[in-house]
């Protein structure tokens, strides 16, 4: 069965955010869409998630906090890119950033493309039974 995209669900999720955080997350959403145009999106566990052959990345902002988060969903990828992530608060596979200091589009694109490749190779390595 084909996966369906649920942008209206993500739109509703973003609508509840403070204006500055919403604007930063909408910008991040567009960067992710540009890097993964075939991905679908939905809200899962109170986080907006993009999927393509599995979860790619997610984004959100914790209630009562003033930062945004990009959930890379791959600790090994974050470890490999530690030099490029210097200057950002990183916790596990999550990158935190301030709404007025968004992540660069080139960094987001590189992370998303790497996740697409990880999902592709993981799916090839473990075919469905």
Residue of 36, 117, 77 whose CA lies nearest to 28: 36
Which range marks the domain in which residue 78 is found? 7-125
What confidence tens digit (pLDDT) does each residue in 33-92 have? 999 999 999 999 889 999 999 999 999 998 777 899 999 999 999 999 999 999 999 999
What is the domain count for the chain? 1
CATH code, domain with 117:
3.90.1150.200
Q: Does any domain span residue 2?
A: no
Contacts 24+ apart (CB under 8 A), 73-78: 73/115, 74/114, 74/115, 74/118, 77/111, 77/114, 77/115, 77/118
Q: Does any domain span residue 1?
A: no
Q: Does any domain span residue 91?
A: yes
What confidence tens digit (pLDDT) does each residue in 109-119 have? 999 999 999 99
Q: Does any domain span residue 63?
A: yes
pTM, two decimal places: 0.88
């Amino acid at each position: 069965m084909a996966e369906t995209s649920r942008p209206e669900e993500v739109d509703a999720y973003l609508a509840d955010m403070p204006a500055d955080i919403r604007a930063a997350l909408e910008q991040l959403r567009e960067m992710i869409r540009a890097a993964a145009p075939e991905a679908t999106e939905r809200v899962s566990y109170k986080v907006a998630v993009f999927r393509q052959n599995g979860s790619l990345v997610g984004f959100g902002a914790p209630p009562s906090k003033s930062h945004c988060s990009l959930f890379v969903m791959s600790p090994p990828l974050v470890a490999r890119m530690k030099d490029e992530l210097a200057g950002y608060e990183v916790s596990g596979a999550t990158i935190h950033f301030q709404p007025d200091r968004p992540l660069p589009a080139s960094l987001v694109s590189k992370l998303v493309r790497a996740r697409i490749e990880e999902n592709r190779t993981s799916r090839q390595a473990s075919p469905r039974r």
